[in-house]
Structure 1
Amino acid sequence: MDRRDRRISPASAAALLLLSLLLACSVLKTDLMSGLALDPLPPLERQVIPLALLALAAATIVVMRQARWPDRRQLWIPALIGLGLFVAPGVLVSFSSRWVSGPTRTGLLTLVSVFAVVLEPYVGLASEAQRRGGLAAALLAVVGTLFVFPVAIPASVEAGGAFVAVAMASLSIAAANCLGVAAARLRGHSHASFAAIVAVAASTAAIANGLAGALLERSLWKWNAPTPELLWSIAVEMPALLLLFWLMPRLSATQMASRFIWAPVLAILAEATVFQLIRQLRPRTWLGLFLMAAGATWLLFAPGEEASTNVLPLKLEL
């Protein structure tokens, strides 16, 4: 079978950049909502709100369109997508937060693009063309993050374990990202058909995050979520999730992984612009941002090439 060189359309490129901007807003949440009296929910518990809303919306589409739900033999695929994209990374990042700072975690999460390039031939479709020079571009972006974010060498066993945890979170996201793209392609561009996958993935992630929050964060679930948190979920996090799953049938896993590079670039530029700090950015930071943007641009727009014929992709049946 010929491998398809899926070139990105202007609409898909714009949607990916919008998704990256929404992720950047999450990084700047404290600054953007500084005038509101926030009573923030714990991280894992907070994710339940947009995931539950997404599951409800997707299930509604399935019922209204009378689409086919995955059978029992197929449920593991959307369940893994939800756990890999939202639950495992959330738990691992929560574990690491005591020893790894927020900027360092953001920098380490750019490893998602590296893992996506490596994993896509195995956890993807046999018909999908690979990005030419994708691994070099992803590594270039990671090098750029070293100029932007302070990544200190772990000084203890606990800190080293926390670094490994963030790397494992990146690996989990990349693998689930590849699996989600493959599942979306097999379901085709039928919104109702893929909505069943989204509903199962989102509901699995919402339930698992709620349980993980109760066990790890030791906080009782607040059914009356603070109004600012609820509004933020509806205005920012819910659209981000909708864009994420909308893009899965339209982009390769490597292209989608570039959002973890674009998001910190846009966050830094937006914060520097809003607070008039552009002139205070050091040449080292500008160089890092340039390398990150160059790597992400190549991942997004580079032509495809034949993958190795020795690669045996994971077989999915949906």
Structure 2
Amino acid sequence: MIYDIRLQIGCAYPSAVADARHLLYARPRNDSGQRVLASTVVVSPDPDEHHHEHDFFGNPVEDVAFRRPHGELAVEMRARVRVDRAPVDLAATPTADAVADAVITWRGSDALSPIHFLGRSRRIVPASDITAYAASSLDEAPQAGSGVLALARRIQDEFAYEPGATDVRTGVAEAFARRRGVCQDFAHVMVAGLRGAGIPAAYVSGFLRTEPPPGQPRLEGADSMHAWAAAWLGPDAGWVGFDPTNGVAVEQGHIIVAMGRDYDDVAPVAGVVVTAGHQQTSHAVDVVPLDDANAASD
């Protein structure tokens, strides 16, 4: 499947920003079952510096700096991506105990080595209640893959999707206690639980293809960025994505932008600004299958 994707991010400041530097995680990755056919990132106002780089985990990132006063920031990313991600046979994965044993002896230290995704990170800290929650799903499954999928489905069933119940600063312990939030919260809970149970887990940001209600047109800009988890299921299966918001394993409709230890590694806009007051942010996403894009242009 080929998708045309557009991401628009806006930041409006209460007073002029005199100086700023940002890292922008907006372009899709060019691996993990997907190929970027074309991509552009346009930043307004024109930055004084703009470098296209890759971070330690192999994520594409824009490094931009401004040294002139500006009252707002606008970022637009456009990409065409081919997704050809074969489903993983979860029944063929090792047991959870075997995965935990394998990572203990793992010696690789490359960007996506499981050893980077097992311990604490800025937003993920050990929590016995979250570990027990995840372990109960893993213990009931004969294989790690089916156990992780069961955990994703359990989060979908037992947590309420409620925008506004949390914000970007909400910690994983609070989100777990509330049993409500958004995709970022559910992904953090899943990552924390898996790591506590000895399964390496990564936080993934990206885009999700959504369908409008039957008989209704696709609304431009109605989507948003999405988040899910990826679990390392041993050297043969490797990294496999699981979406706890929707209770599914990741396949063709998910487009990966970045993988990290938690949200802080892959925030769409990170950095430092010199200003005062609270900024207003907005973003809109379109994920359009190429057939739909061709039909719209006819």
Normalising by structure 2, what TM-score?
A: 0.28
Normalising by structure 1, what TM-score?
A: 0.26
Higher strand share: 2
Larger RCO, structure (CA 8 Å, separation 6 or more): 1
Higher helix share: 1
